Structure 1
Amino acid sequence: MNMNVVEIVKLGRKYMLLWPDRRELAEYFAEYHAIKMARLVCKYLPGVALFTLVMQLYFGGVASLPQSVVYTVFMLSVPLQALVMLGIKADKFLPPALANWYKEGVAKINQSGGDIKLCVQKPRYVDLAQLLNISYRHAKH
């Protein structure tokens, strides 16, 4: 799909929030580690950037303002970069083997009494995240 940067970032955030935080998924999906790192970066790096700016200005004075701003902008760009990378990954189609597994999972949930409406024609990674999220939520109940 052709999306602008804002849509990619929104999709990346949606993908990050949808992906279940279950350790057992690390054995099967490389995305688990990427999403875990993106959550960490999005949560803590803005605070670290602000702390770095304040400390550099406190110890270096106004003379260090240009350098402080560069460091801060770089640190604030890392969460944005993580969301862009997740958004790009979320928009990719699943490989054939994973797509078949995904379709079987959707069918299995629908047969066991669920009524989920997920894409089964050409599923993407964001669809996989939705299925996993529904599966783990469904398993709790």
Structure 2
Amino acid sequence: MLQSLMRVIQTGVRYGKVWPCQPELNSVFLENKLILVTSWAQKVTPPFIVLNGALLLWWHGSTHLPLILAMSLLLLSIPLQGWYRLGVRAEKQLPPAMCQWYQQILQQLQLQGVAVTARNPQPGQALRYYDLGQLLQQAYRQLDKAFIRNSL
């Protein structure tokens, strides 16, 4: 159980690095907002936990130490919850409309003569959001942004 939880969190971190956070994708995908909030929480949460723990310890003394530690652990889990949510989303299968959009972008990249590193699934294999993220990242690097805007 713990290994699968850690695997999902690691997948979420990788997915957050692969996904292109472009403004055009905000209206269609939740990933941009979730990646932004999770990475912000990862930077801000540790100093806030130290400050919060020090102030609570100063106000209430060591009698409330178990409560202060429990609260600190809860606050520390906030970024992990975001990465977990991204990991679950990365492994989720694409709906049929998104699969068609994936194929359109893949064909456009191939027409431009770009060596595609994204996965081209065999019949019967399902595409995942992680695969879409990889393809979109490559499309944003190789194609003009007008194609992505027009295809949304």
TM score, norm. by length of structure 1 = 0.87
Match of 2:91 in 1: 91
Please tell me the root mean square deviation across aligned C-alpha atoms, in Å.
1.8
Matches within 5 A, 1:67-82: 67-82=67-82
For 1:137, the equivalent position in structure 2 comes to 141
3-state SS of paired residue (1:117) = coil
Partner of 1:9: 9
Q: Matches of 1:52 and 1:79 in 2, distance apart?
A: 17
* 2:106 pairs with 1:106: yes
Asked whether the 8 Å contact 2:109–2:143 carries over to 1, the reply is no
- CA drift of 1:102 comes to 0.7
SS in 2 for 1:119: coil
The alpha-carbon deviation at position 139 of structure 1 amounts to 4.3
Match of 2:150 in 1: none
1:128 to partner: Cα distance: 1.1
| Further displaced range: 88-97 or 126-135 | 126-135
Partner AA of 1:65 in structure 2: L
Query: Which shows bigger deviation, 7-16 or 54-63?
Result: 54-63
How far apart in 1 are the matches of 2:137 and 2:43?
21
Q: How many residues align?
A: 138
Identity of aligned residues (%): 29
User: For residues 93-124 of structure 1, what are the alpha-carbon distances to aligned partners after superposition, in whole Å with 9 as ceiling and x for unaligned?
Assistant: 10011011012112211221211132232211
Q: Any conservation in 2 of the 1:16–1:38 contact (CA below 8 Å)? A: no
Runs of 4+ in 1 over 3 A off after TM superposition: none
1:74 positional shift = 0.2
Aligned partner of 2:31: which letter? E
CA contact 1:8–1:84 (8 Å) conserved in 2: yes
Cα separation, partners in 2 of 1:69 and 1:138, compared to 1, 3 Å: same
Partner residue in 1 for 2:19:
19
